[in-house]
Amino acid sequence: MEKVTVILSSKGGSGASFVTAGLGTALAKRGKSVLIADCGFGMREIDLMLGVSDRLVFDMGDVISENCKVENAVYPSDFADGLCVLPAPQENMSVSPDVLKNLLETLDYDYILADCRCDSLAFGLSRYFQTVITVQPEPLSVRCGNRVFLKCRECGANNIRLIINRFSERDFFDKKYFADLDEVIDKVGARLLGVVPEDDILSSAFQKGLPWREKTKALYALDRIAARIDGVAIPLF
């Protein structure tokens, strides 16, 4: 797998930031150096989720405006050794995908995960880097997921993968929105990278910015995805 991955939501709230933070933690726990670049310009989240918000002085906006060097805007997280956060600026800022691409490409990490919103910046970045769309197994999210997939393709993306997030077996079979997961995958159009279960423990760890040491349900799934990203051949399920 390539070094930089762009992660974006099918629609707000389908778990792009959750998956980015969880996958970054899982990759770092495999001994890799990982940078999470929060690309939610004007609405940062990852710093709070990964417990570095109290320490922030500089952010990606300062790096792009050349107010500081990139190493001054990178904050290590207690969630895992080797996991760092490059926070988004709190103010809105117009940044072109090319500027961000050039910045991300110069950084020296095993893996860089760009937590994006579903916006033109993410679509522009999808042309340069492998892209993951997070979708919840619900009709509205799946339909948006397909729109996002087509939009990324229109922008030149050719490596787009799908993560089905917030999966609960009971809900899925009770609600009968879809016959099976294959139908979800077909309707979005992107190849499946993994399925992440609903996980309140990890969600509240991210809400509080406090690391959770034991493996949670989602972390098990994210570990398997991380292993596959890291080149280990393990089956999807």
Binding site for ligand ADP (CB under 6 A): 9, 12-18, 134, 165-166, 196, 198-200, 203, 206, 218
Nearest approach in angstroms of CB 236 to ligand ADP is: 17
Taking CB within 5 to 8 Å according to partner kind, which of ligand ADP, Mg ion, none is near residue 146?
Answer: none
Q: Which is nearer to ligand ADP, 53 or 70 (CB)?
A: 53
The answer to whether residues 117 and 8 touch, using CB atoms and an 8 Å cutoff, is yes
The contact pattern for Mg ion, residues 15-54, with x = CB under 5 A and - = no contact, is -xx-------------------------------------
Rounded CA gap, 141 and 21, in Å? 20
Structure tokens at 201: 């423990």
Structure tokens at 177: 């929105």
Q: Nearest-5° angle of CA 12, CA 33, CA 114? A: 20
Nearest approach in angstroms of CB 46 to Mg ion is: 8
Nearest approach in angstroms of CB 206 to ligand ADP is: 5
Nearest approach in angstroms of CB 33 to ligand ADP is: 23
Q: Which is nearer to ligand ADP, 49 or 66 (CB)?
A: 49
Rounded CA gap, 204 and 164, in Å? 20
Taking CB within 5 to 8 Å according to partner kind, which of Mg ion, ligand ADP, none is near residue 130?
Answer: none
Q: Which is nearer to Mg ion, 177 or 209 (CB)?
A: 209
The DSSP secondary structure of 51-73, one letter per residue, reads T-GGG-S--HHHHHTTSS-GGGG
Burial of 1 (0-12, 13-18, 19+ CB in 10 A): middle
Nearest approach in angstroms of CB 158 to ligand ADP is: 23
Taking CB within 5 to 8 Å according to partner kind, which of ligand ADP, Mg ion, none is near residue 139?
Answer: none
The amino acid at residue 221 is A
Report how far Cα 149 is from the mean position of its chain's Cα atoms. Answer: 15
Terminal-residue alpha carbon distance, the chain: 19
Taking CB within 5 to 8 Å according to partner kind, which of Mg ion, ligand ADP, none is near residue 149?
Answer: none
> What does the binding site for Mg ion look like in residue numbers (CB under 5 A)?
16-17
